[in-house]
Structure 1
Amino acid sequence: MRMDRLQQPSERAAAVVAIECVAGSSKAEEWGGDMLQTGDVVEEIKIGGSAAVHSPFKGGKSGVQKLLHSAFKRGDTSIEVRVRRCGGEAAELQACIVPHGPAGRRQYVLRSIRDPNYAVGFVDRMESECIALQGSRSSRVVCALSTAKLQDGYVSYNWEKKMKEALPVPNSSCFLSMLILPKALDPIGSRYNSLEDTLARVNAWLFSSQSSGVPIEFMNVQTEALLTKISGETASATVNSGSLSDLSNLANASLYGFEDYHGVDIGVVKAVRLWYTPTAGELAVDIRLQEGDTKLGFSISRTEEGFIFISSVDETDNEAASTRAGLRDLFRQAESSSKRLVISRVSNEKVLPWMVSSAGDIRCFDTISLSQKLSLHRHALKLIRIHVLMWEQSSSSELTEYNATATLSFPLLASTPDTSKIGLEMDTASAGDVSFRFNELTLSNSWL
């Protein structure tokens, strides 16, 4: 009993208030000797113009926190702290008192005036622990490393400005993709071909597009989950599959299911999204219309894969809007490179194919409605901006020429007897100032 009473005063004498780093320095000075370090023993605290308070501190860490709370409450947040280290070395910190929410109410830390990123707090420790922490620089670094945490945060970003100024086409992405649904094996869509079959369709579409002269390159492919309701035998086969053999086959399945909280059988159809990119980007061509333009000077068609392209240009009229805009030169370059001059955007709106249905049909844009819209632009004398997919990088002089002469107009021409060498679906517009009539033709170009 007497021995216990003798040990208690010595234990209390060994308890000190020490420094604990809670936020590291941004100036790489934390371990240079000038900054306070974890394990430093607090000797003196001086808040504002008040008298300095020396160790030992009544109540330890709790007593120091009360002092900080009182000072913060009265608006006196300037503080100086002096510490000692083993060997008699001393250090000081000039800081301000700030609340420390993660530690709880009425808890405060000191944020350095020299470096606002650096903050320290107070902790009760045995002096022997502090000596051990101060024993070597490496031990202090190891201690700090064990408690260091990366902090996250938020930064404001001017999305509207960036989307307008940073993108080649304002407010529109340059990412091109095609969603291919798996082939349905029955009218109600309860069974589908395998994922491998869908991937083969993706591959065939891409290779066929490239073979027809569409200047695109493969980027990536991924599966995409689409939810659907299932019932009957399909639900039993998909929802109740739980064996290891069933799970191993799931990777190549196009349909699998589960039961939700309401007992409804939900099916997940695995479609495939193909990401692709123009071989050499997109080029904008501005078509500026003038009084007296009676035609735009080129015809449009559509490939089997759903791409709209310029199939011919007026070679006889040097004053045609398409010629003024440099579209005829682009068309000649595409022909010499065995490429299609594919239209990717009209008035910054994408006009590329975007989906293949479960029946195998390609969702794409209609050339008849596009011809009509362009002709209405001509009558209204409204500028038309189209983008075309490029097959090679244009030189700076070419880009300057297109930008300077970008005055492309689409005059209506009579249909020519030119025939397509590839099975293409085309539209034709009648010439003149009379009302338009559009007919779906199989083997003739659509002149504008």
Structure 2
Amino acid sequence: MKMDRSDGGGRAAVVAIECVAGGSKAEEWSGAGGETAAPQTGDILEEVTFGGSPPVQAPFKGGRAGIMKYLHSAFKRGDTSVLLKARRGGEPSAVIVELHACVVPHPPAGRRQYLLRSIRDPNYAVGLVDRSESECIALQNRMFQGSPHKAMGHGRYSREPLACHFLEIARNVALGNSDSRSSPQRSRSSRVVCVLSNTQVQDGYVSYPWEKKMRESLRTSNSSCFLSMLILPKASDPSGTRYSSLEDTLSRANAWFNSSQASGVPIAFSSLQTEALLTKISGETASSTVNMGSLADLSNLANVSLYGFEDYHGVDIGVVRAVRLWYTPKAGEVPLEIMLQEGDTKLGFAISRTEEGFIYISSVTDDNNSGVAAARSGLKELFKEASEASKLLVISRVGDEKVLPWMVSTSGAIRCFDTVSLSQKLSLHRHALKPILLHLLMWETPPSSPTSVAKRSEATTPLSLPFELSPTSSFVPPPPVDKVLQDLVYRGGAEGGLTRDTAGDVSFRFHNFSNTRNWV
């Protein structure tokens, strides 16, 4: 149906198409491949058909608002498939373009506002606006220069984002063409580039089978292999209002780690970090820490262990800077299961604790009779191997529970596990005939070169401390855990147990600890 809109000098109101999102397919707006071009900005809406209902034709009562009512009713009843027909160009040379679309809500425009998204290319969407017919013709002529061929969809419209307009101008200047409307192909390409530059990769959340992965991928279920020690800053006064500097905390972390290695604990340095702990402060401490309010005061916080601020409710909050030292076993952890039988009179080993808080097996009985559980598990051979390597047989876990030291308090005391209570728990295992699962820290396999062994035996300093690299010594990486475990073989017969194929060299000297041994 042709409508006469010449009244009023072309000022008759019409419902026009407004492109709000472009597709990535050039034929979507060019009409390539023999397909009908899609409606573009400035095209005049002539007809709307909802599913199998009769078409609604222009002029539309109420203009854009009337169309929105139709779209809202269709969306509510679930009839969201729409066929749009729009007119491009003046009456003598008008071309009808079509768009098969679905009705989608458009909340940014307000309640009961909708867009029409192309079914063939979901990235292509159009909206509706009220314009005069002369404005629509002017929009079309501005980009297409009134050419019926270009009215089929070639080129970009003037109401594109400003960034895309500048992008097209720059592209044409680089090509030596100052008239951006003279090349339809370049205009289409720049529109695709514009859409590409505005397209972002989306992120989201996906489910993950944590429980399954923690059961299958961890050596000890629900327990990590990451080991660390948290060192709190030392209090400088009994009231706990003054703390030593951050450098002092770092030095104590370094000393604890060096001493642990010197005592024979087979661990290696992994990482070091400061850790912020919140606490409430008051009185003199608050007055000296909270009142630093300028950027110049930040330099004063570089080496302090406590600083504070005041929150919105007037509470003085302090931030304590602790140091967390991450370390790892030299060659991983190895599980050792001690099976218990009726008639076992004792487990056959004693445990002690180092000054640094590590619990280790200090003695294993030489009794090989059937009433000693340690003789059947191969613990005696493993203990002998540790002694030959000058290492401590450190217990890292009992069952699924870690028994390593984990914190140094502000008074300097190390928080660790008690050997007496651990001995009682192991004895209860024996009485209940429940197997004991111990995890032990393993040490690296020594190099097999006789020359390197001789050099280490003659060395006056048996310990190479961490954080200090000697320029003359070459670094020999520790072997993988599998290599260490392959060296352990089970020896059958009456003296059955675990042993290693090669003997270790002496790289550490044992210290005489004052801790009494707890036999179990």
Query: What is the match of residue 339 of structure 1?
Result: 391
Cα separation, 2, equivalents of 1:389 and 1:32: 65
Instruction: Report deviation, 1:310.
Output: 1.9
Greater mean deviation of Cα atoms: 259-268 or 165-174: 259-268
Query: What is the match of residue 77 of structure 1?
Result: 80
CA contact (8 A) 1:286 1:385 kept: yes
Query: What is the match of residue 228 of structure 2?
Result: 177
Instruction: Report deviation, 1:31.
Output: 3.3
Q: For 1:115-154, what aligned pairs fall within 5 Å after superposition?
A: 118=123, 120-122=125-127, 124=129, 126-127=139-140, 128=142, 130-132=156-158, 136-145=187-196, 147-154=198-205
The letter of the residue matching 1:188 is S
| Deviation readout 1:413-441 (Å, 9 max, x if unpaired) | xxxxxxx9414353xxxxxxxxxxxxxx2
Query: What is the match of residue 513 of structure 2?
Result: 424
Cα separation, 2, equivalents of 1:62 and 1:54: 15
CA contact (8 A) 1:306 1:362 kept: yes
Query: What is the match of residue 446 of structure 1?
Result: 518
Seen in structure 2, the aligned counterparts of structure 1 residues 137 and 263 have a Cα distance that, compared at 3 Å, is: same
Question: What SS does the corresponding residue of 1:352 show, helix, strand or coil?
Answer: coil
Question: What SS does the corresponding residue of 2:308 show, helix, strand or coil?
Answer: strand
* 1:67 is aligned to 2:61: no
Question: What SS does the corresponding residue of 1:252 show, helix, strand or coil?
Answer: coil
Instruction: Report deviation, 1:109.
Output: 4.7
Q: 2:262 aligns with which of 211, 223, 231?
A: 211
CA contact (8 A) 1:16 1:60 kept: no
Query: What is the match of residue 501 of structure 2?
Result: none
* 1:188 is aligned to 2:239: yes
Query: What is the match of residue 106 of structure 1?
Result: 112
* 1:240 is aligned to 2:291: yes
Query: What is the match of residue 352 of structure 1?
Result: 404
Query: What is the match of residue 374 of structure 2?
Result: 322
Query: What is the match of residue 430 of structure 1?
Result: none
CA contact (8 A) 2:394 2:441 kept: yes
Cα separation, 2, equivalents of 1:248 and 1:171: 42
RMSD (Å), alpha carbons = 4.2
CA contact (8 A) 1:228 1:266 kept: yes
Seen in structure 2, the aligned counterparts of structure 1 residues 144 and 244 have a Cα distance that, compared at 3 Å, is: closer
Instruction: Report deviation, 1:446.
Output: 2.9
Instruction: Report deviation, 1:113.
Output: 6.2
Cα separation, 1, equivalents of 2:429 and 2:222: 22
Query: What is the match of residue 332 of structure 2?
Result: 281
CA contact (8 A) 1:183 1:359 kept: yes
Query: Once the two structures are aligned, what percentage of the paired residues are identical?
Result: 60
Cα separation, 2, equivalents of 1:157 and 1:121: 38
Cα separation, 1, equivalents of 2:272 and 2:218: 24
| Deviation readout 1:227-283 (Å, 9 max, x if unpaired) | 344444333222223466543111111122223445443332221122222333322
Seen in structure 2, the aligned counterparts of structure 1 residues 243 and 70 have a Cα distance that, compared at 3 Å, is: closer
Greater mean deviation of Cα atoms: 153-162 or 180-189: 153-162
The letter of the residue matching 1:105 is R
Seen in structure 2, the aligned counterparts of structure 1 residues 315 and 46 have a Cα distance that, compared at 3 Å, is: farther
CA contact (8 A) 1:108 1:121 kept: no
Q: 1:31 aligns with which of 21, 25, 29?
A: 25
Query: What is the match of residue 472 of structure 2?
Result: none
CA contact (8 A) 2:268 2:330 kept: yes
Instruction: Report deviation, 1:353.
Output: 0.6
Question: What SS does the corresponding residue of 1:136 show, helix, strand or coil?
Answer: helix
Question: What SS does the corresponding residue of 2:328 show, helix, strand or coil?
Answer: strand
Instruction: Report deviation, 1:385.
Output: 1.8
Cα separation, 2, equivalents of 1:204 and 1:223: 17
Instruction: Report deviation, 1:51.
Output: 4.4
TM-score by length of 2: 0.65
Greater mean deviation of Cα atoms: 344-353 or 88-97: 88-97
| Deviation readout 1:379-410 (Å, 9 max, x if unpaired) | 1011222222233434389479899x9x99xx
Seen in structure 2, the aligned counterparts of structure 1 residues 73 and 291 have a Cα distance that, compared at 3 Å, is: same
* 1:302 is aligned to 2:371: no
Question: What SS does the corresponding residue of 2:157 show, helix, strand or coil?
Answer: helix
Cα separation, 2, equivalents of 1:71 and 1:146: 34
Cα separation, 2, equivalents of 1:190 and 1:38: 74
Instruction: Report deviation, 1:209.
Output: 1.8
Q: 1:395 aligns with which of 482, 496, 499?
A: 482
| Deviation readout 1:45-78 (Å, 9 max, x if unpaired) | 5432234567887777655544332222222233
Seen in structure 2, the aligned counterparts of structure 1 residues 47 and 357 have a Cα distance that, compared at 3 Å, is: same
Q: For 1:365-376, what aligned pairs fall within 5 Å after superposition?
A: 365-376=417-428
Cα separation, 1, equivalents of 2:351 and 2:123: 65
The letter of the residue matching 1:342 is V
Cα separation, 2, equivalents of 1:425 and 1:92: 93
Cα separation, 1, equivalents of 2:512 and 2:109: 73
TM-score by length of 1: 0.74
Greater mean deviation of Cα atoms: 155-164 or 33-42: 33-42
* 1:386 is aligned to 2:392: no
Question: What SS does the corresponding residue of 2:16 show, helix, strand or coil?
Answer: strand
Instruction: Report deviation, 1:140.
Output: 1.7
User: How many residue pairs were aligned?
Assistant: 403
CA contact (8 A) 1:303 1:424 kept: yes
Instruction: Report deviation, 1:372.
Output: 0.8
Greater mean deviation of Cα atoms: 275-284 or 46-55: 46-55
CA contact (8 A) 1:57 1:63 kept: yes
Query: Gaps spanning 5+ residues in structure 2: where?
Result: 1-7, 31-36, 130-135, 144-155, 161-183, 445-479, 498-508
Query: Which structure has the bigger radius of gyration?
Result: 2
Instruction: Report deviation, 1:293.
Output: 1.9
